[in-house]
Amino acid sequence: MAEEPAKHSSPLPGEDRPAPRRAGRFYAPLLAFLIASGAFCASWAARGTFPFGTTGRAVNDQANQYVPFHRALWDLVHGQAAGDLLFTWRGGFGQQFLSDYYTYLGNPFSWLAVLVPRAHVDLAVFMITPITMGTAAALMAVYLGKLQPGPWWQRGVLGAVYGLCGWALSDASYIPMWMWGLVALPLLGIAVEWCLEERRWPGVALLVALAWFGNFYTAMMATMAACVLLAVRLIVLDMTGAQRLRAVWRAATAAATGILLTLPLLLPSFLSSGAAQPTKAAAFDPVRIEIFLTGMLPGTYLWGGRPRLYVASLGLILAGSFLLNTAVARRTRLVWAAATLLVVLSFQFPPTQYVWHGLAVPNGNPYREAFVFSGMVVVVAWLSLANRPRPLHLALSAALLVAATFVLRHTNDFGGTTWPAVLGGGAVSLLALVLLALGEKRRVLIPVAAVLMVGVVFAESTAAAVNADARRARERWAKPIATSSQSITNHLEAVRSVDGWPAYRTDSGAPQTSYNDALSLQAEGPQYYSSYLPESTYKALEPLGYGYKNDGRTIFGASNPVLDAIFSIGARAEPGPQKNSWTARTFPTPPLVTVRSAPYSSPNPPASVYARQEQVLGATVYRVPPVTRGGSATQQTYAARCEPGSEAFWYSPQLYGTLTSGGSTRPLEDRMTGVVSLGEVPASGTVDVTVDTRTRDATAGEHPVGCLDRAALAQAVGRLTVTGATEVRAGGHTIEATLPKAASGTAVFAMTDVPGWQCSAPVKSFHGLVSLDITPGTDKVSCTFTPKGLTPGLAGATLALLALTSVTVAGLRRRRRA
């Protein structure tokens, strides 16, 4: 059969553009939005999860990072934040916030969180997912219409197929910022079409900027995919060489301008990432081919770092018929098929995987770009559907899907809903498509086909989402938890009742729901979890006995009075006697800025955590006794002698198990457990500790026990208070202290020396804290935090904005002359 030309392709420059049908313009994206968001919400209702039930929805980092950061955004907008967009005093004893905002709050729908009462921020965070999913589906419906016109309801259904792809349902459903990548792909696809049409250069730049403002990580992947889409369109369209060059030039300049507009966020985030505590990301190890192929089957849920590549069976059947559809030009079929194949193969090849991830080793699931493949599958599905595939070709495609499912049925973690999706969803999809083909002669069949297509995508995607949610909930790391409760409300009220910032810090106490309780509960303690937690913060806090996780990017609190004095913690919340109750207490503490007049050296063993605390405090408050060790490798016993009435502390970051002392037992979680109190030393002066450990070939070390002299600590606190700042004022990203008369020596700020501090004198590191040398007569010291890269980022964005404005004004003038 002779090759037919491609039908209904987008008009080229100079060609007449068909008048768009108003119904298709609005109805297609609306239908796509309703199917995608509705199916995902239906899966929540089916599982009985919040807000449709009592089961918690927050999974892993959604509870530990995303909900707390959205609460921080609420505080910022409503004037309740200790900090501003550049810096937060809540968590990590003061940390940059701009990079965290860009990474965790960049999705424009994150601002929905500020429109609800603070107690319901978690609900707003959950709703970001179906809203973003629906928006992505709607934009894909628009993009498909630009590739080739067709019935609005068919574009709406396939737009929903994209919005409900496996990556969205499994990988990104609980990660609001990643979901923006799902939006970015069709958004940039539309931008590509405008470049090919030589129209709306400023609009292209703004679409690129919108994609990158939402989340640079997935936007980078979507931008690479847009390059593939542009290359494909340049090959399949009948264009001259000059037209192709102009399209590439417009795309390149607009993309560069759009990305430059985001530079005030992008550059500080890039530099913050470089200064962050390093992680031990493993090299990319591709999954076996049968697992990779299984990820393409509808309804599949593969645990861990596996690819979720599937779309609903309707999309797969149509995509499978694409190569057989002779109504599509041969060159178009071959180029789109080759591009889709090369994209999916690049996911298995380490060098190209690193390119997809910005030349970084993927940390966690390495197939985070899977939505790109799903998007291309939906595109070829649409090109086939818009050119009326034959029933025989559709049947062959469906048979191939069933055969592939049968061959892969024994793959590890083969999805429980895969067979129903392939046999049930596939059969209904095939029936709908056959009825649609017959509808050319029997128009009454078209509404039936439409209802079946909408229904099968909705039902199959709902079932796939339920399956993914249920199977993920069975994994230890992904147990969903509640992020709002009476206990959380009482905890917040207890913290607020003793708020004294900036006279002193308030510690929220033991984590209740997240690793970022300081953000969630409006406290100023050490707890912080961020991919940008600086290496300098980790190096300052870990030696002092604070617990940590995630290779040091998560810092936990420690109820230790010496650490409280070092970091000016003057209040702490604690669980109350009744269920869900919390109390709070205040206690004396030095101000946030203290003055050290003479060097100090601890007499205790330098390798002990207690000596390191004394070095920063500047006073001897501990006795670190020798310990005798006995027992076995799994049940270790330790004994030490201390002054009766002193308070004993324990530190063993190498042991995981349980600790028993003085009749009480508590868990030990190696590096997550910081310095813990063993209580008052009895009259006998003997401190006995038993550790049941599961850690092979590890001990508590030479100096696990330290005995605190409370009276000596009170004297040290009093001295630092008298010689320290008489007044401290903290702004959004500034701190200023008034010093006593005749102060001299070193002013030490109770904040870690993170990159970006500029002070009234050159900044020095005092055991990892910010410090300044003060000369006699100095009565005030101050510091201002500016994120590294912000100033050049603003300069770059200004240039991009000038270019954008100039092109826009020039275009308007040309139109007026015409």
Contact between 136 and 186 under an 8 Å Cβ cutoff? The reply is: yes
The helix (H) or strand (E) run that includes residue 35 is helix 22-47
**Structure confidence at residue 818 (pLDDT):** 66
> Which residues neighbour 452 within 8 Å (Cβ) at sequence distance 6 or greater?
428, 429, 431, 432, 435
In the beta sheet, which residues pair with residue 455? none
**Structure confidence at residue 17 (pLDDT):** 44
> Which residues neighbour 789 within 8 Å (Cβ) at sequence distance 6 or greater?
267, 268, 270, 271
- Of 114, 154, 113, 133, nearest in space to 44 by CA: 133
Widest CA span in the chain: 100
> Which residues neighbour 399 within 8 Å (Cβ) at sequence distance 6 or greater?
none
Q: One-letter amino acid identity for 668? A: L
Q: Which residue numbers in the chain have pLDDT < 70?
A: 1-24, 303, 476-477, 818
| Angle, in degrees to the nearest 10, between helices 121-147 and 370-385 | 40
**Structure confidence at residue 637 (pLDDT):** 95
54 C-beta neighbours (distance < 10 Å), count: 9
- Spatial separation of the C-alpha atoms in residues 180 and 222, rounded to whole Å: 10
The residue with tokens 């889409």 is: 229
DSSP type of residue 757: E
Strands 505-507 and 569-575: parallel
CA gyration radius, the chain: 31
- Of 589, 591, 574, 572, nearest in space to 525 by CA: 572
> Tens digits of per-residue pLDDT, 412-461?
777 778 999 999 999 999 999 999 999 888 889 999 999 999 999 999 99
Q: Mapping DSSP to helix (H, G, I), strand (E, B) and coil, where does residue 237 land?
A: coil
In the beta sheet, which residues pair with residue 507? 572
- Spatial separation of the C-alpha atoms in residues 511 and 495, rounded to whole Å: 13
> Tens digits of per-residue pLDDT, 673-706?
999 999 999 999 999 999 999 988 899 999 999 9
DSSP type of residue 510: S
> Which residues neighbour 284 within 8 Å (Cβ) at sequence distance 6 or greater?
350, 353, 354, 361, 362, 366
> Tens digits of per-residue pLDDT, 727-771?
999 999 999 999 999 889 999 999 999 999 999 999 999 999 999
> Tens digits of per-residue pLDDT, 102-114?
999 999 999 999 9
List every span in the chain annotated with CATH 2.60.40: 622-708
- Of 480, 465, 371, 415, nearest in space to 41 by CA: 465
**Structure confidence at residue 22 (pLDDT):** 59
Strands (E), 130-172: none
| Angle, in degrees to the nearest 10, between helices 121-147 and 176-196 | 20
**Structure confidence at residue 814 (pLDDT):** 81
The residue with tokens 């919040």 is: 50
- Spatial separation of the C-alpha atoms in residues 352 and 349, rounded to whole Å: 6
- The class (CATH top level) of 622-708 is mainly beta
Q: Please tell me whether the peptide bond between 298 and the residue prior to it is cis, using omega within 30 degrees of 0.
A: no
- Spatial separation of the C-alpha atoms in residues 429 and 400, rounded to whole Å: 14
